[in-house]
A and B are shown apart, each in its own frame.
Chain A
Amino acid sequence: MDFDVQDLYSSLHTYLLITAFMAHNRETHTCNNVNFAEALATARQMQQNWLTYGIDFVNFYVEDVNGDWLETWGNDEILGNSRLDAIKEFLVSDDNVAVKVREYLGERSLFDFAVSLEAYWKSPEIDDRLAAVKNLLATGENNVHKDDISLVNLANSLLVKLADIL
């Protein structure tokens, strides 16, 4: 395959921009227009590479296309965790308890919440779980009393749902 060196640099540059954006976004959760223009340029460049080189364009972005990455995709500990998968799937579903949990969490990370829930689920005592889930829901909320009835109800409903799916 005969790659144009200029294209290669350009692809590498846009790849670095994506990475930079992701790191930046994790910290601030705000994205500026520069990021947007760069991300859009990345999409355009990627499509241009497809237009010129066909499916071989992936070689610009990935070094080991035919390595064993697909066979080993599930080997990662967290990603291979089916309980965490089930919790995450539930939390983003249309179930009304899931909707309430999302409303309750507001801007907080659903992913982090799922990871903590999964960790607490290993706790052997049911009472512990209720306390843990209440604490988890209330974390970062300044004006919430731990025995607030809506909080207790939500934690209870969530535990019932989790018992169903796990």
Chain B
Amino acid sequence: MQAKEIKDKLKSLIEQASSIDPNLARRLDEINRWVKNIKPGSLTAKPFVLAFLLEVITDSTIWLIIKSSPSQEAQKAKFEQMTPIERYWYGYLFPKWINANDSKFYIWKQKLMAGEFNRGDDDIIRNIAQDVVQREGSFWQRYIADLSMATDLIVSNRHNQPLCIQVTSVSEELNQQKYQAWQNTLRSWEIERGLFLSYNPKDANFVNQLVNVALYNSDYLSGGKYLKFS
């Protein structure tokens, strides 16, 4: 399709959502207006904006189907078709994003307007996700989670306990303040545990190490814990 058709899809979803879930209609409407205000700085920003929009459209479509289920049972049956990690996203985090208050949304808006889409560590996140899959874990990657919930990746392992993960390179100087800000963000979204991973790009084996820590903690990290690993 042509990129401008994305806007038509967004409009169509806003229209549908206005009767099914007005809060979602509001979010999508805001996104539409903010996209208008993004300053297209570098060429690489465009693919990221599109990736974000495709994701929002896909997730909103799923959400509206769920919300228009004829009964609670039908809704429940849909969640049962999902993997645990998908259930965590569509049943817990995505609705939180839809219904978030504006003060939380504001940070996200600023990032969007500033065109902070060039996720420099996208390939590293992807390498981690690939390794997770190879070891029969599962993952979920969402730009919404990245932009507003300080979460690069959600992973789960044998116990099917999704865990939100933030990945940062050592060069970014992880100070206590940064870790604290990450933790506060997770708490504000009522994400009950999380893993803050820092890596050294010079270490050839770092992806393997990060995945070990992520998979293990997905199974065993207790609720209320926000673990920093470096």
Please list the residues of chain A having a beta carbon within 8 angstroms of any beta carbon in chain B: 15, 18-19, 21-22, 25-26, 29-31, 33, 35-37, 39-40, 42-43, 46-47, 50-51, 54-58, 61-67, 69-74, 76, 78-80, 85, 88-89, 91-93, 102, 107-112, 114
Contacts and interface: CB of A to CB of B under 8 A. Distances in A.
30 contacts: A18-B61, A25-B16, A29-B19, A29-B20, A31-B69, A33-B78, A39-B58, A51-B133, A55-B47, A55-B51, A61-B54, A62-B6, A62-B50, A64-B2, A65-B3, A69-B2, A69-B4, A73-B35, A79-B32, A88-B26, A91-B22, A92-B25, A93-B26, A102-B22, A107-B19, A109-B15, A111-B15, A111-B18, A111-B25, A114-B18
Q: Which of B2, B18, B82 has most chain A Cβ within 10 Å?
A: B18
B126 to A, nearest CB: 6
Given A110-B18, A111-B25, A43 B1 contact: no
B214 interface: no
Q: Which of B43, B62, B123 has most chain A Cβ within 10 Å?
A: B62
Contacts of A22: 9, 12-13, 16, 61
Nearest to A67: B3
Contacts of B78: 33, 36
Given A40-B81, A79-B36, 11 more contacts: A19-B9, A39-B65, A40-B82, A47-B141, A54-B122, A61-B1, A63-B2, A79-B32, A80-B36, A110-B19, A112-B15
B210 interface: no
Nearest to B50: A58
B64 to A, nearest CB: 7
A68 B82 CA distance: 37
A159 to B, nearest CB: 21
B35 A46 contact: no
Contacts of A19: 9
A99 B34 CA distance: 24
Given A46-B58, A67-B3, A21 B46 contact: no
B62 A39 contact: yes
